C-alpha cells in the first residue's frame, strides 16, 4: 500500500479549473433525477429527466448513465425517488415495492458491483428503521443517497491525487473506455489527466475508441479535449503500435468489479491492452473506489459478463448495415483482466500492489 497526503479542498479547486460536468443530480422537489444522456454525446449535450422505475432501468441498460461509480450514485437517487412516490402506501406494501424496485434495477447491469452495492446500502436503511414512519424512512433514504454522492466526490479526488503520483511531466498514457467525470463525479482513470492539466503538467493521452458503444471516442476524447488535455484517439487495434513506438509510459483503466485476488472486469478490450502492455514492459493500473472491490468474489471466473445486442456490431454506428443480416455476433460488454497483468490498483485509500489477494484483504481488515 502506498499513501500520500491529499488536500481535498485544493484538489477540488484544481479539478474545477478544467470544467467538471454535473452529470447526475436530484430535482429540487425530489420528483425526478436529471442526467446527461451519454448515448447522445458528443454530438448533442442533452439533459434527461428520469421520472419512474422503467426509465431508471432503461437509463442504466441503454448506457444513458454509465460508469460504475455513476451507476451507484444514480441507483441511490433512483431508490429514493421511487420510495418517495410510494410514501402514501401502507408500510408492508411500501417495503414490497422497495424490494421489487431494487431487484429490477439490479437486473439492468449486474456486472457493475457499484450498482448492487448502492442498492443494498439503500435497502439497509429501510431494514434498520422499520420502527419509523414511511416519511421518516424516506428522509433517511434521501440523506443516504446524498451521502453516496458526496463520498464518491471525496473518493474521486483522492484517486486523482494517487493516480497523478504515478506520472511525471511528459508521460504518455493509454486509457481504455471512459472513467472521467461523466462516469463518476470527478473521474477515476481519467481524473489524473485532468488534474495534471490543471497543475500545468503535460500528459499525452492515447484513448482507445472502445467497443461496444465507443465510449473512448465519444466520451473520453470529449471530456479531455474540452479540458485542453493533449489527447489522441486511436482504434482499439492500434494499442500495440503506439506501445511499440515508445509513446506509452503507463496504462490507466477503470474497473467495474475487482475480485478478491485482483482480477478485474472492465470494458471489453481491457484484457488485450494489459496483455500487450506486459509484452512491452508497460505498467497497467486499474483506478476505482473500494466500493468496486468485491471481496465475496474470489476471482475473475466468478464475475458475470453481460452480453449486449448483436445489432450494435452490425448496424449501430453505420448508415447501412456493416455485416450480413444472417451472420452471428458475439458482443460481450466486459472482459476480465488477470491480476498477474496488473501493476497496481489505485483506490481512495492508496495504491494497492501485488500480491493482491493478501493486500486487498489487508486493506479491508484495516477498515474493521
The answer as to CATH 3.40.50.10470 being correct for domain 167-367 is yes
pLDDT at 68: 84
* DSSP per-residue string spanning 181-228: TTTSSS-SSSHHHHHHHHTT---EEEEE--TTTTHIIIIIHHHHHHTT
Question: pTM for the whole thing?
Answer: 0.89
Which superfamily, per CATH, for 8-156?
translation initiation factor eif-2b, domain 1 (1.20.120.420)
C-alpha span between 172 and 231 (Å, rounded): 10
Structure confidence by residue, pLDDT tens digits, 327-362: 999 999 999 999 999 999 999 999 999 999 999 999
Residue in 17, 8, 3 with CA at minimum distance from that of residue 195: 17
Helix-strand-coil split of the chain, %, nearest 5: 45, 15, 40
Task: Give catalytic residue positions.
Answer: 256
Structure confidence by residue, pLDDT tens digits, 190-244: 999 999 999 999 999 999 999 988 999 999 999 999 999 999 999 999 999 999 9
Residue found by looking up cell 465475496 in the block:
296
Domain boundaries, the chain: 8-156, 167-367
pLDDT at 77: 98
Q: How many residues does the chain have?
A: 368
Residue in 141, 135, 125, 134 with CA at minimum distance from that of residue 91: 134
Environment class of 333 (CB within 10 Å of its CB; exposed 0-12, middle 13-18, buried 19+): buried
pLDDT at 111: 75
The residues, ordered by sequence, that sit 6+ positions from 103 with a Cβ below 8 Å of its Cβ are: none
Contact 81, 31 (CB under 8 A): yes
pLDDT at 365: 86
pLDDT at 145: 98
Residues of the chain predicted below pLDDT 50: none
pLDDT at 110: 81
pLDDT at 2: 65
Amino acid at each position: 500500500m502506498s499513501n500520500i497526503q491529499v488536500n481535498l479542498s485544493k484538489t477540488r479547486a484544481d479539478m474545477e479549473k478544467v470544467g467538471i460536468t454535473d452529470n447526475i443530480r436530484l430535482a429540487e422537489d425530489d420528483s425526478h433525477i436529471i442526467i446527461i444522456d451519454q448515448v447522445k454525446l458528443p454530438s448533442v449535450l442533452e439533459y434527461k429527466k428520469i421520472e419512474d422505475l422503467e426509465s431508471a432501468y432503461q437509463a442504466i441498460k441503454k448506457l444513458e448513465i454509465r460508469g460504475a461509480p455513476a451507476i451507484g450514485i444514480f441507483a441511490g437517487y433512483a431508490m429514493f425517488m421511487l420510495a418517495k412516490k410510494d410514501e402514501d402506501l401502507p408500510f408492508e406494501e411500501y417495503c414490497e415495492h422497495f424490494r421489487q424496485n431494487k431487484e429490477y434495477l439490479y437486473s439492468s447491469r449486474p456486472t457493475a458491483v457499484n450498482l448492487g452495492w448502492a442498492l443494498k446500502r439503500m435497502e439497509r436503511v429501510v431494514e434498520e428503521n422499520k420502527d419509523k414512519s414511511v416519511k421518516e424512512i424516506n428522509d433517511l433514504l434521501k440523506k443516504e443517497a446524498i451521502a453516496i454522492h458526496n463520498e464518491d466526490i471525496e473518493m474521486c479526488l483522492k484517486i486523482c491525487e494517487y493516480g497523478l503520483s504515478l506520472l511525471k511531466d511528459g508521460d504518455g498514457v493509454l486509457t481504455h473506455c471512459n472513467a472521467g467525470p461523466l462516469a463518476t463525479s470527478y473521474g477515476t482513470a481519467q481524473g489524473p489527466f485532468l488534474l495534471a492539466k490543471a497543475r500545468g503538467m503535460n500528459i499525452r493521452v492515447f484513448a482507445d475508441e472502445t467497443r461496444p458503444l465507443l465510449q473512448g471516442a465519444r466520451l473520453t476524447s470529449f471530456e479531455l479535449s474540452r479540458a485542453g488535455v493533449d489527447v489522441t484517439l486511436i482504434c482499439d487495434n492500434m494499442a500495440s503500435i503506439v506501445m511499440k513506438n515508445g509513446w506509452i509510459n503507463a496504462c490507466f483503466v477503470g474497473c467495474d468489479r475487482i475480485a478478491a485476488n485482483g482480477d478485474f472486469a472492465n470494458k471489453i478490450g481491457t484484457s488485450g491492452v494489459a496483455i500487450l502492455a506486459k509484452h512491452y514492459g508497460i505498467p497497467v493500473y486499474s483506478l476505482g473506489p473500494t466500493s468496486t472491490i468485491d471481496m465475496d468474489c474470489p476471482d475473475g471466473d466468478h464475475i458475470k459478463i453481460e452480453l449486449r445486442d448483436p445489432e450494435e456490431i452490425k448496424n449501430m454506428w453505420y448508415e447501412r448495415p456493416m455485416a450480413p443480416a444472417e451472420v452471428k455476433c458475439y458482443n460481450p460488454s466486459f472482459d476480465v483482466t488477470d491480476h498477474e497483468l496488473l501493476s497496481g490498483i489505485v483506490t481512495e485509500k492508496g495504491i494497492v500492489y501485488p500480491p493482491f489477494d493478501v493486500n486487498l484483504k489487508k486493506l479491508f481488515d484495516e477498515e474493521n
